[in-house]
Structure 1
């Protein structure tokens, strides 16, 4: 069966808070788990990047859900392609937090000192997220951020 891979980036809405992240990921993981979608979601200092793979109709519907989700704005499609096999052996959604994208990691992966989603090609976005998702320490630290936010050990100050 042919599968589809889709990559996008977007910005958090003005009302987005890190404390909302656990709920967003839970909802995405439930949907993706029910429809055989594997995905990686990454957060930079200013954007979210998301790559998902699975049956075309399910991936298209998931993309539509993101487009209408009030937590996000300015959703931009990196690209979409039909694939024979998955690039990511992730579960329904692996999450990568912004601190994973150190200067060293970005230079090693893309020969750039930092990530600017609007300047990435579809190929570079896929490569970046695949490399990050392969590092279990990055995933563990990223999960810790989500857990801390869910326990309300995290706070934000608006200026």
Structure 2
């Protein structure tokens, strides 16, 4: 297995995985929109998209992280927004390998922490994250307000 940062030549593979990821979260398939979204994120450096390659070099998983800063610690951190491994590669250690590589890479770059959310129903992901040392938030409460477009 190998981890690479998504570049222009990987956009189609990344978009296909991202489309599958969205379907997993009960969204409609929309490969052209997924391609445009991933391309914009990579080109504009809005996110860091890491691809997991199987031994044959095929992209079989990805993680997408968004940079941010913690005002209290005055240090950078990353929000791990997306993690996905193709169904055919699950339960083989691929997600663990990807998460460990993400942790090592961003720690080496000086990030203070990695933060993520997962669905309350996604018990497999919760087990993985907890086995890797992630702790469920106990201090802060997260709120969301869904905004309506102006005008």
TM-score range, shorter chain: under 0.3
Structure with bigger helix share is: 1
TM-score, normalization by structure 2? 0.27
Greater relative contact order, per chain length (Cα 8 Å cut-off, separation 6+): 1
TM-score, normalization by structure 1? 0.26
